[in-house]
Structure 1
Amino acid sequence: MTAEVRAGQRGGDTYRADVVIGADGHRSVVRAVVAPDKPEARAPSSGCTC
């Protein structure tokens, strides 16, 4: 199976790719589209057990 992601810009340009990375900040438009039930970013807990 082959998957494809399509992304569009306000100016009307569209792009097709295998992967799209949304890095648009704290109040992410990408996050709101991908995970509408969790639109706000949350800082990770300070007790990392990595």
Structure 2
Amino acid sequence: MTSCRLERSVTLGNGDLNATLDETEGACADKVDTINNGQKQGDEQAANF
């Protein structure tokens, strides 16, 4: 798993910066969901032993 980072970008204004931030937040949320789902599956499997 890699860190969520806001990469350097060239923005023309606040609208561009907000769009970049939205994209980054979405990508980081996907990573958090993936980790959370994996942990839940591991917990469920451990409970069945």
* TM above 0.5: no
TM category, shorter: under 0.3
Bigger RCO (CA 8 Å, 6+ sep):
2
Structure-2-length-normalised TM-score: 0.20
TM-score after normalising by structure 1: 0.20
Q: Report the structure, 1 or 2, having the larger helix content.
A: 2
